Structure 1
């Protein structure tokens, strides 16, 4: 196990508190896309505000955790890995905020938005969010046996691969209809797909660091 009772459990709780805020940020992003799919722009803006709020809260918890890790000596042997892992988790929220802004800061014509947010796009967003949510069980397992941790990490990897398949399909659909959209809109939607991809990618990156920590013998 990476974290035992005592100071280890306190650090684990801090990581979990941070991750829960990150997941709330991602869930708000998911809700925003659902609202846009229904062309409910007022509701979408409320979700966008929630994305910003949770991202800020997560960032504050992240900064506090970094300060504790840097000041303390208990985790000196894995300090660098812990900091890198937390940075990746925090980047999940950053990616959700950036993806939300990519659709909200320039209004996509309603006809195009409805066409773009089809089943593939909606499933892509949901699978990316599921990948981020799968980080929580990984962090919860850090006080358990290494086999359990590895099992939870594999779930994150599987979900990220599933999201990646949907991403590629969505790109194919976008480019096959590119002549129906103006160039700026195509670029905007491409950016949205890429930024949403970062949600799942950063979640997997965080879980990969945990595997590295196990491989170094911290368990």
Structure 2
């Protein structure tokens, strides 16, 4: 009975952890809206809030890892679950890093790039949400979980394409002297960090894929 109680506790922590990662991303969307409008005070406030949420996600991850150490789940399943949790946690890490980079630079957002950035953020949100659904489906429907893995792959490709377009346009704007070198470098770094969120989500979905493959035998 104690064994199954531990598993139930880990699954509860897992749901809370996913919620915290999603919370981090939704706060990043708010931060970007403030960035577009030049609201530096809100950018700084939201960056601090994201740091708090990311720390809370870390605390939940540590509680899960302690339960794994104390014997939750069978050994053949335990390692894959730990690796999955750590991969999901890296999504929150890069969200926090993105928020910090935006708040640190304090550059004015180039208005002509807003549409592409909003599109990139929208697709990235779909990627993070699909990861959350994928992990939740691991306990209910492996076939649907597999479909979510493939959906994440497609969304990550879409984010990559938008990222490349933005960076190409940034180089063009810099060459045409429409922005200075500092703004160019900051905007390129922000773009790449946003792209990294989907990269880390895809990495986590790859860990989910390993679990799916093993369970299907």
* TM-score, with length taken from structure 1: 0.88
**Aligned mate of 1:195, from 173, 189, 193:** 193
In the alignment, structure 2 segments of 5+ residues that lack a partner are none
State how far apart, in whole Å, the 1-side matches of 2:138 and 2:72 are: 19
CA contact (8 A) 2:36 2:111 kept: no
Q: SS of 2:215's equivalent?
A: coil
The alpha-carbon deviation at position 33 of structure 1 amounts to 0.2
Which residue of structure 1 lines up, in the alignment, with residue 207 of structure 2? 209
State how far apart, in whole Å, the 2-side matches of 1:156 and 1:192 are: 21
State how far apart, in whole Å, the 1-side matches of 2:169 and 2:15 are: 37
The alpha-carbon deviation at position 117 of structure 1 amounts to 4.1
Which residue of structure 2 lines up, in the alignment, with residue 66 of structure 1? 65
1:17-28 equivalence runs, <5 A? 17-28=16-27
The alpha-carbon deviation at position 9 of structure 1 amounts to 4.4
State how far apart, in whole Å, the 1-side matches of 2:97 and 2:14 are: 23
State how far apart, in whole Å, the 1-side matches of 2:129 and 2:33 are: 18
Which residue of structure 2 lines up, in the alignment, with residue 53 of structure 1? 52
Which residue of structure 2 lines up, in the alignment, with residue 151 of structure 1? 147
Matched, 1:170 2:169: no
Q: Post-superposition, which runs of at least 4 consecutive aligned residues in structure 1 deviate over 4 A?
A: 5-9
Q: SS of 2:105's equivalent?
A: coil
Matched, 1:127 2:123: yes
The alpha-carbon deviation at position 6 of structure 1 amounts to 6.2
CA contact (8 A) 1:29 1:96 kept: yes
CA contact (8 A) 1:16 1:139 kept: no
CA contact (8 A) 2:152 2:202 kept: yes
Task: State the aligned residue count.
Answer: 212
CA contact (8 A) 1:134 1:155 kept: yes
* TM-score, with length taken from structure 2: 0.89
Describe the shift of the 1:213–1:106 C-alpha distance in structure 2 as closer, same or farther (beyond 3 A). Answer: same
CA contact (8 A) 1:129 1:199 kept: no
Alpha-carbon displacement from aligned partner over 1:91-144 (angstroms, at most 9, x marks no partner): 111101111111211211x3xx13364201121122112211212211221221
State how far apart, in whole Å, the 2-side matches of 1:157 and 1:209 are: 13
Describe the shift of the 1:117–1:59 C-alpha distance in structure 2 as closer, same or farther (beyond 3 A). Answer: farther
The alpha-carbon deviation at position 47 of structure 1 amounts to 1.6
Which residue of structure 1 lines up, in the alignment, with residue 99 of structure 2? 100
Describe the shift of the 1:134–1:32 C-alpha distance in structure 2 as closer, same or farther (beyond 3 A). Answer: same
Matched, 1:114 2:113: no
State how far apart, in whole Å, the 2-side matches of 1:104 and 1:142 are: 36
State how far apart, in whole Å, the 2-side matches of 1:70 and 1:187 are: 44
CA contact (8 A) 2:160 2:195 kept: yes
State how far apart, in whole Å, the 2-side matches of 1:200 and 1:87 are: 15
Q: SS of 2:38's equivalent?
A: coil
